[in-house]
Amino acid sequence: MQRVIKSGIGWRIGWNPDASEFKGLVGTDDWAIEFTELELNDFCRLFNQLADTMKHLATELMEQEKIACEAESDLLWMEVEGYPQSYSLHFILNTGRCVEGKWDPEAVPELLQATEMLKVF
């Protein structure tokens, strides 16, 4: 397997199975952070859980009703906020590096699709 970097307007995500410690990368046009394999796996898993939750809540909410949902592991805290069809994504890395990042609603659908195509979790 070789290194993969996917990107679009306002997002990027990568996977390098040959890297010694930091095999993953997430970011935007303005910032990026390298993740360990476990961190990237948790990021993808939690992001998918949150996206599924938003999809299921679409039938429960009124059209103008915003919502925030959180998910957490030992490594990451993540939150989506907005409308079921348009929401931002925010994360805080709970390991020793003290990092947080956020994607605008416009970037989230493509980033979600890219996480599903990395096949790392």
| pLDDT band per the 50, 70, 90 thresholds, residue 1 | low
pLDDT, residue 59, reads 82
Q: How far is CA 97 from the centre of its chain?
A: 17
The pLDDT tens digits of the residues spanning 21-73 come to 999 999 999 999 999 999 999 999 999 999 999 998 878 877 788 899 999 99
Tens digit of pLDDT for each residue in 89-107? 999 999 888 899 999 999 9
**Which residues neighbour 26 within 8 Å (Cβ) at sequence distance 6 or greater?**
12, 13, 14, 32, 33, 35, 40, 43, 101
The CATH number of residue 61's host domain is 2.30.31.10
Query: In terms of DSSP bridges, do strands 86-93 and 99-103 run parallel, antiparallel, or are they unpaired?
Result: antiparallel
pLDDT of residue 120: 46
Mean pLDDT for the stretch of residues 8-25: 95
Section 70-89 average pLDDT:
95
**Residue-range definition of the domain harbouring residue 20:** 4-118
Domain total in the chain: 1
54: three-class secondary structure by DSSP = helix
The torsion angles phi and psi of 62, rounded to 5 degrees, stand at -75, 160
Give the count of alpha carbons within 13 A of 35, CB side only. 27
